[in-house]
Amino acid sequence: MTQHIGELNPPMRLMMTPGPSSIDARVYRALATPLVGHLDPYFRVVMDETQQLLRQMFQTESRITFPLSASGSGGIEAAVLNPLEEGDEALICVNGVFSERMAIIAERTPARVTRVEAPYGRPVDPEDVRRAGKGKKVKIVGLAHGETSTGVLTSIDAFRKVADELGAMLVVDTVATLAGAPLHVDRQRIDICFSGSQKALSAPPGMSPITVSTRAEEAIRARKSKVQSWYFDLSSAMNYWGKDRLYHHTPPISLIYALREAMRIVAEEGLEKRWERHRQNEHALTAGLEAMGIGLLVKNPADRLPTVTAVLVPDGIDEVKVRNQLLDEFNIETAGGFGPLKGKIWRVGLMGHVSQKGNVLLFLAAFEKVLLENGYRAPAGAGVAAAIKCYSEAETAAAVSR
């Protein structure tokens, strides 16, 4: 018997997850515009504009800057498989699930891979990378700028210095940070940098923006062997996004429309203002959580990712039950931990369109109510009050600086 399947009618959630994030109505409208062919003259112009905006997001002038038709994990594959071949040495910084994924992918190449690790909740020490690379001819140093699984932000500059000493290229995962935290690809001399569309850019999932330096392009073109993946071989994918627009695959046209519009929104706001907005909202959220007596996985405030906060689950509290109640009663979707942090943390996203003062205050009020009903007693209203105080102090400081 054939079951009737009704028309789609998904609920409208407040996506306070580590990704995807909620998107602006303008981005939804872009998704609904008419399809054209991927070699259509109109779409060629859209591609040019998309690349122009992406260069602005990455703060780069690199010719090879385009969105891969893939998730952020596809970005990892492209960034790691293209430079590495037999005989190469790679140092991969591992401090969470996604930086470990970079190591796992690298270990599937014929290259020799060394993991340089740090405990979850802390960035890798650049000195450990320096020691691991001593006496080796290192091809790449890889790291996650923002580790989504733990809420850790890693400062890039010290790793660029170490990579220079080792003669290595620097490969950086900015899936959780692009358009949400300060990033200057050219100034910081990142050789391969990739991201995801569904996080602080606030576009739908399915695209992985990537940019490649001249040095990295030359290294890829000088390979002695073919890249293990045909789909993620940048030497051929670059031809479609290059001036000749040679066919490689059929890209997700509607997703590119949406990404273009999402980046237009970022450009209108201004990157520096957007970075500061994310920073202020993360500060207010963490101030509210600490006022409620809730611990944070990342102890050093300087190491906290402005787009994802890892919140420790108090003893005796069922983290899944709390998340489900937030979803059922307030339409707020958050995430739990996974791997060794499963059941131990909540991950609260403040990414792009979601990173707003009203959402921070709503979450803290709802979180207090749900925790109270699950047996955790925080000082009444302390979270919201602390966040409001944080915002007030920021507004006063901004007024004084003007």
Task: Please report the DSSP string for 132-175 in residue order.
Answer: HHTTS-EEEEEEESEETTTTEE--SHHHHHHHHHHT-EEEEE-T
Please state, in angstroms and rounded to a whole number, the distance separating the CA atoms of residues 254 and 237: 19
Mean pLDDT of 354-361: 98
Per-residue pLDDT tens digits for 228-250: 999 999 988 777 777 776 667 88
The pLDDT score that the predictor gives to residue 248 is 78
Per-residue pLDDT tens digits for 154-195: 999 999 999 999 999 999 999 999 999 999 999 999 999 999
First to last CA, the chain: 70
| Buried/exposed code over 26-43 (b: 16+ C-beta within 10 A; e: otherwise) | ebeebeeeeeeebeeeeb
pLDDT at 37 over 70: yes
What is the pairing mode between strands 169-173 and 332-333?
unpaired
How many other β-carbons are positioned within 10 Å of the β-carbon of residue 178?
Answer: 28
Per-residue pLDDT tens digits for 87-110: 999 999 999 999 999 999 999 999
Q: Report whether CATH 3.40.640.10 matches the domain 25-267.
A: yes
The pLDDT score that the predictor gives to residue 183 is 98
Bridge partners (DSSP) of residue 349 are: 308
- Specify the range with the lowest mean pLDDT, choosing from 15-19, 118-122, 233-237: 233-237
Amino acid letter at 285?
L
Q: To the nearest whole percent, how much of the chain has pLDDT over 70?
A: 99
The pLDDT score that the predictor gives to residue 1 is 64
Q: Where in the chain is the domain with CATH 3.40.640.10?
A: 25-267
**Helix, strand, coil proportions of the chain in percent (round to 5)?**
45, 15, 40
Give the contacts of 174 (CB within 8 A, at least 6 positions apart).
145, 146, 183, 193, 194, 195
Q: Where in the chain is the domain with CATH 3.90.1150.10?
A: 270-401
Name the superfamily (CATH) of residues 270-401.
Answer: Aspartate Aminotransferase, domain 1 (3.90.1150.10)
